[in-house]
Amino acid sequence: MTEPAHRPRSDVPFYAGLLRLGGIYVLLLAGLLIADASYTPPPQLWAALQSAEIRYAVWLSLWSCTLSAFLSLLVAVPIGYLMSRHRFRGRALVDGLLDIPIVLPPLVVGLSLLILFHTFWGQWLEDAFKMLLEWLGVRRVRRITYDIPAVILAQFAVAAAFAVRTMRVTFDQIPPRREQVALTLGCNHAQAFWRVALPEARRGLLTAFTLAWARSLGEFGPILVFAGATRLRTEVLSTTVFLELSVGNLEAAVAVSLLMIIAALAVLLLVRHFGSERNLALAVEP
């Protein structure tokens, strides 16, 4: 008489355990958002956002984040393409250098920028920048350090690293054979890049831009050290939260935090809808 086949145990306890452990973190994140949203009534939040300092911080954040994201794309596309398509001596060293802004503590990035502009070459660059501003007739901005250009440079120094990783992953996913076919049809390498590789990378371009923008918006340490937190001068949303907390104005700090949360959620939804989720995961991986 044959023995009855072994019946597998139910998977319910296994998945229940996974849900319990993973649900703790999900509930924590949801609790953070709910706590921020319910801490202050909407009228008080709206009143806090009416101050001139916060409105200036919103304007400067939007403007500087957009510019730093464009600058990040400007360097991310060529670096990502070269790192994806070519093998050269010292490539591992360059690859390691590109990851430094991701793994370094943000305060160290800001301190390094500050030290750089105290060297001979940094002083020369700042003097040249002053001459350019005088020639253009710009009066509001006087220098790089502790002024608006320092905000953009601090954001760019970190955000560009994420854009570079995104574009490298993007070009890795594009088969080089398409460019090789274009070369056989009479295109040179520049034409193959502009007509084949770059159009194919449009989703990665959007992902890189939005990631760089979101990273710039949340940058705090480098801006605080390199640009300062001068009100109506170098104050952005991240430093506004710090300044409002330092004077005990918790309602304004929460209001600004909610603005940043809404912007971050909008960026994530944009990336997941139009961009590549694989690019997003690999780009933020340290």
Write the CA distances from 72 to 80, 139, 184, 238, 278, integer angstroms: 11, 26, 32, 20, 20
> CA 167, CA 15: separation in Å to the nearest integer?
37
Half-sphere exposure of 276 (CA within 13 A, CB side): 20
Quick one: which of 8, 15, 50, 64 has its CA closest to 238? 64
Whether 96 is in a domain gets the answer: yes
**What mean pLDDT do residues 265-270 have?**
80
Query: Is residue 259 scored above 90 in pLDDT?
Result: no
Model confidence over 134-155: pLDDT tens digits?
A: 777 767 777 788 888 899 999 9
**Most confident by average pLDDT, 97-106, 154-163, 277-286:** 154-163
Tokens 């340490």, residue located: 221
118 and 161 share a domain?
yes
Confidence band (pLDDT; 50, 70, 90) for 75? very high
**What mean pLDDT do residues 87-105 have?**
86
Number of domains making up the chain: 2
* Side chain identity at residue 228, one-letter code: G
Query: Is residue 17 scored above 70 in pLDDT?
Result: yes
Tokens 């959007």, residue located: 206
17 and 101 share a domain?
no
**What mean pLDDT do residues 220-249 have?**
88
Residue 124 or residue 44, greater confidence: 124
> Residues 6 or more apart from 215 whose CB is under 8 A from it?
155, 158, 159, 162
Whether 169 is in a domain gets the answer: yes
**Neighbour count for residue 160 (Cβ, 10 Å):** 25
> CA 72, CA 153: separation in Å to the nearest integer?
10
Whether 88 is in a domain gets the answer: yes
Domain range for residue 23? 9-39
pTM (two decimals) = 0.83
Query: Is residue 164 scored above 90 in pLDDT?
Result: yes
**What mean pLDDT do residues 3-7 have?**
56
pLDDT at 73: 94
> Residues 6 or more apart from 41 whose CB is under 8 A from it?
none
Whether 1 is in a domain gets the answer: no
pLDDT at 197: 85
Whether 2 is in a domain gets the answer: no
**What mean pLDDT do residues 175-199 have?**
83
